[in-house]
């Protein structure tokens, strides 16, 4: 994200302020809660769109040692930001990738018998006992060895002779709903399968799982979304602090008469004489087209001078239009700063308005903002 994003604030469509102190505090909160289990960090997809380099450095500075990425190349980026980190690559190991893993000291989360053989063979030929995790499937039916495959592996006399098994992991399907019975089913299945394997550290929980209590923490939790300020629950208030704050100025303010329409396809008609503000961010910038009025759980809003203003008409590629009529006049001018995401317009509000989840909102933010990594005072 960083590479394609060195736009200075004065030429960008908006400013995305990443509050690294909030990120660090979120990690510390999760780490304390999970003790004595270790708290790692899921930093895939450029830390959910927030920026990998800065975030990993900030997390390392407060004591985070273990990182989970999706792809080997993301692992390389973590290695560059945090030379001493332990890095697991969740998408496993494809044929021919082992050398890259070794070069950057990345640990594959081996998820199929083929991947296990590939790593065994590579370690054998290198004559090095390289570390790896074993990803086992406990009920989400995505990546991971089945119980039968795990049994077969456990029966091989030299199964763990050539590589070093450092973590056994699985992933929850319903952690965001603490009362769901599937959580306990998966936990029990995880225990049964773990019992077949060498006694090494175990990890089951993502962000919501980290809130399910001691039985779900095992030796390591792997939060992602909660670090970045998203609500780990689908049915409770958010215990985390917002990290991504997005601001953009009003580009123009125009008066229209009752009966006039705004935007593509003229989908919104003014019911009264209306003051319309135009903001230079659109769906290319992660302002989902689903926020167009009428949004399903809307109205979707922005926050101007202490007041909420609804988005009216279609969200287009580069622009949104908002109704400023009820905002005090002193804030209805070109250049007025508008909050598109932050303390007042939370990432979870945006997700709800656009019919998606905070993960999707953050990872869609795009590359046309100036990114400022620090406290909020500089935004």
Ligand X SMILES: *Cc1c(COP(=O)(O)O)cnc(C)c1O
Instruction: Find out whether 18 and 369 touch, Cβ atoms under 8 Å.
Output: no
Regarding 90 and contact with ligand X (CB under 6 A), the answer is yes
- Residue 48: partners with Cβ closer than 8 Å, 6 or more residues away: 224, 225, 228, 230, 359, 362, 363
181: left (phi over 0), alpha (psi -120 to 50) or beta: alpha
Which region, judged by CB under 6 A, interacts with ligand X, from 115-123, 151-159, 219-227, 366-374? Answer: 219-227
- Size of interface with ligand X, in residues (CB under 6 A): 12
Q: Of residues 99, 103, 264, 308, which has the active-site annotation?
A: 264
Regarding 110 and contact with ligand X (CB under 6 A), the answer is no
312, with CB counted inside 10 A (0-12, 13-18, 19+), is: buried
CA–CA separation, 86 vs 89, rounded Å?
Answer: 10
First to last CA, the chain: 19
Q: What angle do CA 296, 361, 267 make, to 5 degrees?
A: 35
Binding pattern to ligand X, positions 6-45, x when CB under 6 A?
Answer: ------------------------------------x-x-
Which region, judged by CB under 6 A, interacts with ligand X, from 188-196, 217-225, 336-344, 368-376? Answer: 217-225
- Please pick, from the candidates 75, 223, 277, 310, the single residue that binds ligand X as defined by CB under 6 A: 223
CA–CA separation, 261 vs 145, rounded Å?
Answer: 56
CA–CA separation, 217 vs 39, rounded Å?
Answer: 9
Which region, judged by CB under 6 A, interacts with ligand X, from 24-32, 152-160, 223-231, 236-244? Answer: 223-231
Q: Of residues 44, 101, 228, 359, which has the active-site annotation?
A: 44
Q: Which helix (H) or strand (E) holds 114?
A: helix 113-126
Binding pattern to ligand X, positions 143-172, x when CB under 6 A?
Answer: ----------------------------x-
Q: To the nearest whole angstrom, how small is the minimum distance from the Cβ of residue 109 to ligand X?
A: 8
Q: To the nearest whole angstrom, how small is the minimum distance from the Cβ of residue 99 to ligand X?
A: 24
Q: Which helix (H) or strand (E) holds 68?
A: strand 66-69
Binding pattern to ligand X, positions 41-80, x when CB under 6 A?
Answer: -x-x-----------------------x------------
Q: What angle do CA 297, 301, 303 make, to 5 degrees?
A: 150
Regarding 222 and contact with ligand X (CB under 6 A), the answer is yes
- Annotation marks residue 44 as catalytic: yes
Cβ-based nearer residue to ligand X, 68 or 247? 68
Regarding 224 and contact with ligand X (CB under 6 A), the answer is yes
The binding site for ligand X (CB under 6 A) comprises 42, 44, 68, 90, 171, 206-207, 222-226
Catalytically active residues are 44, 264
């Amino acid at each position: 994200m960083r590479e394609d994003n060195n736009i200075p604030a004065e030429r960008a469509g908006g400013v995305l302020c990443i509050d690294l102190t909030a990120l660090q505090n979120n990690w510390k909160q999760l780490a304390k809660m999970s003790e004595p289990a270790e708290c790692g960090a899921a930093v895939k997809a450029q830390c959910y769109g927030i920026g990998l380099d800065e975030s990993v450095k900030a997390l390392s500075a407060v004591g985070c040692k273990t990182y989970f990425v999706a792809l080997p190349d993301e692992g390389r980026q973590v290695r560059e930001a945090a030379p001493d980190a332990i890095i697991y690559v969740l998408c496993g190991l494809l044929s021919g990738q082992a050398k890259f893993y070794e070069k950057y000291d990345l640990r594959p989360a081996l998820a199929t018998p083929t991947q296990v053989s590939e790593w065994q063979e590579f370690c054998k030929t290198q004559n090095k006992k390289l570390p790896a995790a074993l990803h086992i499937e406990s009920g989400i039916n995505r990546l991971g060895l089945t119980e039968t495959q795990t049994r077969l592996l456990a029966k091989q006399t030299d199964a763990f002779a050539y590589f070093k098994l450092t973590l056994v992991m699985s992933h929850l399907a319903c952690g965001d709903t603490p009362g769901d019975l599937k959580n306990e089913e998966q936990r029990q299945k995880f225990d049964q399968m773990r019992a077949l394997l060498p006694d090494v550290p175990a990890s089951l929980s993502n962000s919501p799982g980290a809130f399910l209590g001691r039985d779900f923490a095992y030796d390591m939790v792997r939060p992602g979304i909660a670090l970045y300020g998203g609500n780990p629950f689908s049915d409770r208030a958010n215990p985390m602090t917002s990290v991504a704050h997005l601001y953009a100025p009003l580009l123009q303010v125009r008066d229209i008469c009752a009966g006039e329409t705004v935007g593509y396809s003229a989908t919104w008609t003014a019911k009264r004489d209306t003051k319309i503000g135009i903001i230079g961010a659109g769906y290319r910038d992660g302002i989902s087209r689903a926020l167009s009025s009428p949004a399903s759980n809307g109205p979707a809003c922005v926050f101007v001078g202490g007041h909420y203003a609804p988005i009216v008409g279609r969200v287009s590629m580069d622009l949104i239009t908002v109704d400023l009529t009820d905002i005090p006049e002193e804030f209805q001018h070109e250049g007025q700063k508008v909050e598109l995401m932050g303390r007042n317009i939370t990432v979870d509000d945006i997700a709800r308005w656009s019919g998606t989840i905070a993960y999707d909102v953050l990872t869609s933010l795009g590359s046309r903002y100036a990114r400022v990594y620090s406290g909020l005072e500089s935004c």
